[in-house]
Amino acid sequence: KAGVTQTPRYLIKTRGQQVTLSCSPISGHRSVSWYQQTPGQGLQFLFEYFSETQRNKGNFPGRFSGRQFSNSRSEMNVSTLELGDSALYLCASSWGDRDNSPLHFGNGTRLTVT
Partner 1 sequence: GDSVTQMEGPVTLSEEAFLTINCTYTATGYPSLFWYVQYPGEGLQLLLKATKADDKGSNKGFEATYRKETTSFHLEKGSVQVSDSAVYFCALRVEVWDKIIFGKGTRLHILP
Residues that bind partner 1 (CB under 8 A): 4, 6, 33, 35, 41-43, 45, 48, 50, 55-56, 58, 90, 92, 96-108
Which is nearer to partner 1, 19 or 36 (by Cβ)?
A: 36
Which is nearer to partner 1, 17 or 95 (by Cβ)?
A: 95
The least distance separating partner 1 from the CB of residue 73, rounded to whole angstroms, comes to 17
Give the number of other CB atoms < 10 A from CB of residue 62.
6
Nearest to 38 by CA among 70, 14, 71, 60: 60
Q: Which residues contact 39 (CB under 8 A, 6 or more apart)?
A: none
Which is nearer to partner 1, 10 or 14 (by Cβ)?
A: 10
C-alpha to C-alpha distance for 41 and 67, rounded to whole angstroms: 24
